[in-house]
């Protein structure tokens, strides 16, 4: 297994130009998009449609009027949307429902990987399940995609990628993969890493510490989301 990491939105913007046909991508937007997606699947959401723009979300909702509209801009629920981007909003109310979501970075990163052989939704919540799936399937090439924040690197995404890579030995690693693995090992636990991250601090300052604590629950769920034809569904148990 050869593992690489895309660490920034600038790298992610170039992914549609790459040949990803033999690559398994694992996309992380730990605070909070992919954590919310995993939470939704845990609670029985039928499928999740990640889109890049608010306009795409509303257009798709017009064609699928029973879907839930979710997402954020600048961390806040979008005007007219049913729910925002807090994993605590993705509980029992989403059971059996389709969700259309757009976020600043996470959904953009997912869609940038659309041509990959496989696209898996990564979070600390399901890191153990992801490790098991990757060990079982043993893809030749794995790309950890760290969604970032606006145009910059996000510590929490790199931390999660590093935790996952550490579970996949033996593997060959690029310098980026070696870097995030070493960085992740420097934190005593996930909650510490998320609390010191810029996004974790911003969420705490806005009264959303519960979101940070939820997203830091490592290997809480044995659920994996896979995106195929731009739709995310839970893999069969």
When divided into structural domains, the chain yields a total of: 1
Q: What is the CATH number of the domain that holds 87?
A: 3.90.1560.10
Mean pLDDT by 10 residues, the chain (237 residues): 97 97 98 98 98 98 97 96 97 97 98 98 98 97 97 97 96 98 96 98 97 98 97 93
Nearest to 21 by CA among 154, 115, 132: 115
Range of the domain at 181: 2-234
Sheet of strand 231-234, all strands in order from the earlier edge strand to the far edge: 76-77, 68-73, 98-102, 47-50, 231-234, 225-228, 118-122, 23-28, 141-146, 2-6, 172-173
Predicted local confidence at residue 95, as pLDDT: 98
């Amino acid at each position: 297994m050869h593992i690489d990491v895309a660490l920034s939105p600038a790298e992610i913007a170039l992914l549609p130009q790459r040949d990803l046909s033999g690559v398994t991508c694992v996309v992380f937007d730990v605070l909070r998009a992919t954590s919310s997606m995993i939470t939704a699947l845990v609670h029985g959401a039928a499928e999740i449609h990640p889109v890049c723009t608010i306009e795409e979300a509303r257009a798709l909702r017009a064609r699928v009027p029973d879907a839930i509209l979710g997402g954020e801009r600048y961390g806040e629920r979008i005007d007219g949307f049913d729910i925002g981007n807090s994993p605590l909003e993705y509980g029992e109310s989403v059971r059996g429902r389709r969700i259309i979501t757009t976020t600043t970075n996470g959904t953009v990163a997912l869609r940038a990987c659309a041509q990959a052989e496989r696209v898996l939704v990564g979070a600390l919540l399901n890191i153990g399940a992801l490790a098991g799936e990757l060990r079982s399937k043993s893809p030749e090439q794995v790309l950890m995609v760290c969604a970032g924040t606006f145009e910059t690197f996000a510590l929490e995404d790199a931390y999660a990628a590093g935790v996952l890579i550490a579970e996949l030995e033996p593997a060959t690693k690029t310098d980026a993969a070696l870097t995030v693995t070493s960085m992740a090992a420097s934190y005593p636990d996930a909650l510490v890493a998320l609390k010191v991250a810029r996004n974790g601090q911003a969420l705490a300052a806005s009264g959303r510490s519960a979101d940070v604590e939820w997203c830091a629950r490592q290997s809480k769920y044995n659920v994996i989301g896979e995106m195929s034809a731009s739709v995310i569904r839970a893999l069969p148990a």
